[in-house]
Amino acid sequence: MLHVIDHPLIQHKLTIMRDKDTGAKDFRELLVEISRLLGYEVTRSLPLRDVEIETPLTRMTGKAIAGKTLAIVPILRAGLGMVDGLLSLVPTAKVGHIGLYRDHETHKPVEYYCKLPDDIQSRFIIVTDPMLATGGSAADAVRMLKDKGCADIRLMCLVAAPEGVKAFHEEHPDVPVFTAALDERLNENAYIVPGLGDAGDRIFGTY
């Protein structure tokens, strides 16, 4: 299932990020802010339990997050830019890392690193990657998690292409995708159009 989160604040900040004249510092800060806003929607289905507490006036039954705790798994390197926004919502979340890069000739993902929490299979997992272009990297990352016994997975991105969403859901129809925008298409170099360029380069100032 695809969820396009078109909140006015998200769209405003995303427009600034798309602008080619926006520098790395502002780009990074805006990515954190949008990730925090997207995080509210991605975590909407977290289960709750009743807890008994005492306010300054009386006892009451409140709500607290129940059961599964959160794990954030960024796809390196660009996915790192979305982690702090989610950690500001759930500071106790554990963070794993999956290293994939796109071969510039074949446009296929290549794995080079994987480090995950020992209890990852019991956690509510959010995979982060700003750009869902071909869908290959995201699909490979989720496959790696499923191979380790993970089941409760969501993918959070900033901008998606229709081709990437289709390819991802052909392999993982059970994993919801949350994005701030669904763009027009991929170009001949597998970049999202209109997009915002190479997110990793813009985050780290390596363009």
| 49 has catalytic annotation | no
% helix, strand, coil for the chain, step of 5: 35, 30, 35
CA atoms within 13 A on the CB side of 2: 21
Q: What is the mean pLDDT of residues 140-162?
A: 96
For residue 177, the one-letter residue type is V
| Strand duo 131-132 + 153-160: pairing | parallel
| 106 has catalytic annotation | yes
pLDDT of residue 32: 97
List the domains of the chain with CATH numbers. Answer: 2-204 (3.40.50.2020)
Place of tokens 């790192």: 80
Mean pLDDT, the chain, integer: 93
List the catalytic residue out of 28, 43, 102, 134: 102
- For residues 78 and 141, is the Cβ–Cβ distance under 8 A? no
Q: Which pTM does this prediction carry?
A: 0.91
pLDDT at 111 over 70: yes
Kindly tell me the sign of the dihedral angle through the C-alpha atoms of 25, 31, 32, 33. Answer: positive
| 102 has catalytic annotation | yes
- For residues 63 and 117, is the Cβ–Cβ distance under 8 A? no
* pLDDT, tens only, 51-99: 999 999 999 999 998 877 899 999 998 999 999 999 999 998 999 999 9
CA dist 150 → 33, 73, 89, 120 (Å): 28, 12, 22, 7
Rg (alpha carbons) of the chain, rounded to whole number: 18
| 198 has catalytic annotation | yes
List the catalytic residue out of 106, 119, 174, 185: 106
